[in-house]
């Protein structure tokens, strides 16, 4: 049963209901040991944070920021802030000094909570440039504080300011004054095309989002929900808060690269992820099958085919499964498919929302076929995550991004743009009057920038309108769709498609070097470094054959005609990726200008 209350008191209401039941499973920084805290303990820490913030002089609707990886302290801090009507602004743990300086100054942040040494050092270097910033509070007790830093304190010392709840009467008074018009968070967009803007999220938006999402994605208090994406990502934030409102246990995974190991250790039932996670699972399972015996391969592909028939041809279409097929599925599920899921730590999979990028139909079919309930969806920071998603118990179409959640009104403009109105749509960007005037049409619909269409109640996306490339021959190419097709190949790690105002489609491709280097050794190809490997003629011929196979379904004008293998990854450090790992195409195109021009030479 969902608890619908203002976020300022949600954790305390859940503590009354769930008491000593585990609320959060986590690991401390640098520890390998998983620990748990109960709802009662969670509630107590949140109250201590609220009291400590009042003792430091925080006033309603002033701002703090959290610059950290996912950790239990992050949750304590934010819900403690909500308890005294303080606005919390999450920063990505990978943000640069320039980015955090900009956000602190833009939102007049008073206190900055940081995770580990890297975040503390960055914060310390820009502190003197941020007049509003009074204090840095450090989560990880092993961080070395500067000798010339009298204002920073560790989180454990910060909590002592709230020990015994010295300002509890004022905290409880704040609860009575809390209202849905208050700003809850400001989330800064990743800025693929320009300056980052702060998206205002109100308590009213959360209230509507939690209610609507619970109706289409029924988590429950038996679920164990692991965090993969950072809490600074609106998808993970909305998902985690939904789980908390339904009494699910959160498993906090601090380091994203460890997610598969964490899953095998903690056995979650649910997880929100981006398509790239499932693409890698798909590639890994396929590779394992390629290296297995003929008998094992036959058994697996037979089981996969049975799973596809049941889950795609019948369940997805809302049809009753024939008894013989259901019996066969139960057998292959128990003997084969369950082993695939067990490798992931998913012995009891329940719900797995996926959004944030193009989902390859091939990958979506595979995940459903092995018995994992992938819920494909679509949303934005400006819509507090979900706009549409597959609804449990209703038919869904592979390739769609689901049906609108309750309260969302979708309009498709004459240009084909998806336009939104509803209680989960932001009131506007923080202190951006010009941007706000451009973001909404005269009827109050928000411009998403995405092209799409509705069919039988489901939304189908075409492409980001600004990302839609037009070749010099007047043909339109959707780069993310082409990139998505290539990323299911085990030899390919990153792709950037080039086509805008060009006579044909080209691509910059970063190989999956661990796989490519192994293949080169097996084929007696010598190389002194990755640059030489990427230039090798046999390597390029092999990659060309794989690319041609992958893009057979594309129209001729959409197909990649030339490509260049790059010896280095696109990275956030070089500005080629946003914090959410989206390509900054303008930066990539500028950096590799000469490489790109060479591909178009006659």
pLDDT digits (tens, 9 = 90+) for 369-407: 999 999 999 999 999 999 999 998 899 999 999 999 999
Find the helix or strand (DSSP H, E) in which 550 lies.
helix 537-550
Q: Tell me, what CATH number does 374's domain have?
A: 3.40.50.12780
Residue 3 within a domain:
no
- The stretch 57-75 carries a mean pLDDT of 97
Can you give the pLDDT at residue 583? 86
Say if residue 503's pLDDT is above 90: no
Contacts of 567 by beta carbon, 8 Å cutoff, 6+ apart: 529, 530, 531, 533, 534
Claim to verify: residue 56 and residue 165 sit in the same structural domain: yes
Which letter does DSSP use for residue 508 in this model?
E
Say if residue 472's pLDDT is above 80: no
**Predicted confidence band at 31 (pLDDT cuts at 50, 70, 90)?**
very high
Residue 138 within a domain:
yes
Residue where a domain terminates, one of 429, 447, 464: 464
Can you give the pLDDT at residue 330? 97
Residue 37 within a domain:
yes
Residue 268 within a domain:
no
**Predicted confidence band at 511 (pLDDT cuts at 50, 70, 90)?**
very high
For 218, counting Cβ atoms within 10 Å of its Cβ (0-12 exposed, 13-18 middle, 19+ buried), the class is middle
Claim to verify: residue 116 and residue 244 sit in the same structural domain: yes
Say if residue 519's pLDDT is above 70: yes
Residue 119 within a domain:
yes
Whether 192 contacts 582, CB under 8 Å: yes
**Predicted confidence band at 236 (pLDDT cuts at 50, 70, 90)?**
very high
> Ramachandran region of residue 70, left (φ > 0), alpha (ψ -120 to 50) or beta?
beta
3-state secondary structure of 179: coil
Residue 2 within a domain:
no
Q: φ, ψ for residue 160 (rounded to 5)?
A: -65, -25
Claim to verify: residue 398 and residue 513 sit in the same structural domain: no
- Sheet hosting strand 270-271, strand order edge to edge: 35-38, 22-26, 249-251, 224-226, 270-271
- The stretch 329-338 carries a mean pLDDT of 96
**Predicted confidence band at 412 (pLDDT cuts at 50, 70, 90)?**
very high
Can you give the pLDDT at residue 415? 85
Q: Which residues of 492-529 are buried (b: 16+ CB within 10 A; e: fewer)?
A: bbbbbbbbeebebbbbbbbbbbebbeebbeeeebebee
Claim to verify: residue 347 and residue 242 sit in the same structural domain: no
pLDDT digits (tens, 9 = 90+) for 132-190: 999 999 999 999 999 999 999 999 999 999 999 999 999 999 999 999 999 999 999 86
Claim to verify: residue 413 and residue 541 sit in the same structural domain: no
3-state secondary structure of 345: coil
The pLDDT mean for the chain works out to: 93
Can you give the pLDDT at residue 191? 57
Dihedral, 171, 175, 180, 184 alpha carbons, nearest 10: 30
Can you give the pLDDT at residue 359? 86
Q: What is the pTM of this model?
A: 0.86
Claim to verify: residue 458 and residue 481 sit in the same structural domain: no
In terms of pLDDT, which residue wins out, 150 or 66?
66
- The stretch 401-430 carries a mean pLDDT of 96
Q: How many domains does the chain have?
A: 3
Can you give the pLDDT at residue 190? 67
Say if residue 221's pLDDT is above 60: yes
Residue where a domain terminates, one of 411, 446, 464: 464
pLDDT digits (tens, 9 = 90+) for 243-269: 999 999 999 999 988 999 999 999 999
- Sheet hosting strand 153-154, strand order edge to edge: 153-154, 135-138, 111-114, 63-67, 87-91, 183-188, 198-202
Can you give the pLDDT at residue 173? 97
Residue 4 within a domain:
no
**Predicted confidence band at 1 (pLDDT cuts at 50, 70, 90)?**
confident
Say if residue 464's pLDDT is above 80: no
Claim to verify: residue 203 and residue 283 sit in the same structural domain: no
Per-position DSSP letters for 438-499, written without gaps between them: HHB-TTS-EEEEEEEEEETTEEEEEEETTT-EE-TTS-EE-HHHHHHHHTTSTTEEEEEEE-
Claim to verify: residue 442 and residue 311 sit in the same structural domain: yes
Residue 238 within a domain:
yes
Claim to verify: residue 173 and residue 43 sit in the same structural domain: yes
**Predicted confidence band at 554 (pLDDT cuts at 50, 70, 90)?**
confident
Claim to verify: residue 303 and residue 241 sit in the same structural domain: no
Q: Which domain holds residue 200?
A: 10-257
Claim to verify: residue 304 and residue 222 sit in the same structural domain: no
Q: Tell me, what CATH number does 109's domain have?
A: 3.40.50.980
Residue where a domain terminates, one of 464, 487, 506: 464
Claim to verify: residue 439 and residue 493 sit in the same structural domain: no
pLDDT digits (tens, 9 = 90+) for 560-583: 999 999 999 999 888 898 877 788
Can you give the pLDDT at residue 248? 98
**Predicted confidence band at 194 (pLDDT cuts at 50, 70, 90)?**
low
Which letter does DSSP use for residue 208 in this model?
H
**Predicted confidence band at 484 (pLDDT cuts at 50, 70, 90)?**
confident
């Amino acid at each position: 049963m969902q608890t619908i209350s203002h976020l300022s008191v949600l954790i305390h209401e859940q503590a009354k209901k769930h008491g000593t039941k585990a609320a959060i499973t986590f690991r401390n920084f640098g520890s390998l040991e998983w620990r748990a805290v109960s709802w009662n303990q969670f509630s107590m820490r949140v109250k201590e944070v609220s009291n400590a913030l009042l003792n430091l002089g925080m006033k309603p609707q002033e701002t703090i920021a959290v610059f950290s990886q996912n950790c239990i302290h992050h949750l304590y801090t934010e819900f403690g802030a909500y308890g005294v009507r303080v606005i919390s602004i999450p920063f990505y743990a990978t943000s640069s000094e320039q980015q955090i300086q900009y956000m602190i100054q833009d939102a007049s942040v008073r206190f900055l909570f940081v995770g580990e040494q890297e975040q503390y050092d960055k914060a310390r270097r820009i502190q003197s440039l941020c007049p509003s910033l009074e204090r840095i509070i450090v989560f990880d007790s092993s961080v070395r504080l500067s000798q010339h830093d009298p204002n920073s304190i560790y989180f454990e010392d910060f909590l002592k300011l709230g020990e015994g709840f010295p300002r509890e009467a004022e905290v409880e008074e704040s609860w009575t004054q809390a209202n849905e018009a208050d700003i809850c968070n400001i989330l800064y967009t990743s800025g693929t095309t320009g300056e980052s803007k702060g998206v205002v999220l109100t308590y009213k938006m959360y209230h509507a989002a939690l209610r609507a999402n619970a109706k289409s994605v029924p988590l429950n208090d038996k679920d164990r929900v692991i965090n993969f994406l950072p809490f600074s990502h609106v998808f993970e934030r909305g998902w985690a808060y939904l789980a908390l409102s339904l009494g699910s246990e959160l498993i906090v995974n601090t380091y994203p690269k460890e997610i598969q190991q964490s899953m095998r250790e903690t056995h979650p039932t649910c997880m929100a992820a981006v398509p790239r996670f499932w693409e890698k699972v798909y590639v890994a399972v396929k590779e394992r099958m390629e290296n297995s015996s003929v008998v094992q391969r036959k058994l697996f592909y037979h089981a996969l085919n049975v799973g596809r028939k049941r889950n795609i041809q019948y369940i997805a279409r809302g049809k009753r499964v024939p008894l013989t097929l259901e019996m066969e599925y139960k057998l292959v599920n128990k003997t084969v498919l369950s082993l695939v899921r067990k490798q992931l730590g998913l012995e009891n999979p329940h719900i797995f929302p996926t959004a944030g990028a193009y989902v390859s139909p091939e990958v979506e079919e595979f995940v459903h076929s092995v018995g994992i309930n992938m819920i494909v969806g679509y949303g934005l920071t400006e819509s507090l995550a979900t706009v549409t998603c597959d609804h449990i118990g209703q038919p869904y179409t592979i390739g769609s991004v689901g049906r609108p959640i309750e309260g969302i009104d979708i309009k498709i403009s004459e240009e084909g743009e998806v336009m939104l109105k509803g209680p989960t749509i932001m009131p506007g960007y923080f202190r951006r009057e010009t941007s706000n005037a451009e973001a909404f049409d005269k009827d109050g619909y928000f411009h998403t920038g995405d092209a799409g269409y509705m069919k039988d109640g489901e939304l189908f996306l075409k492409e980001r309108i600004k990302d839609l490339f037009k070749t010099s021959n007047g043909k339109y190419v959707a780069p993310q769709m082409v990139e998505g097709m290539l990323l299911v190949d085990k030899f390919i790690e990153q792709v950037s498609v080039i086509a805008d105002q060009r006579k044909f489609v080209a691509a910059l491709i970063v190989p999956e070097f661990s796989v490519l280097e192994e293949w080169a050794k097996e084929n007696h190809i010598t190389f002194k470094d990755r640059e030489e490997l990427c230039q090798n003629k046999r390597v390029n011929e092999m990659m060309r054959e794989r690319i041609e196979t992958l893009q057979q379904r594309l129209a001729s004008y959409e197909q990649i005609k030339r490509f260049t293998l790059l010896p280095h990854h696109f990275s956030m450090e070089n500005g080629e990726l946003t914090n959410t790992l989206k390509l900054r195409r303008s930066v990539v195109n500028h950096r590799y200008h000469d490489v790109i021009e060479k591909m178009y030479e006659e």
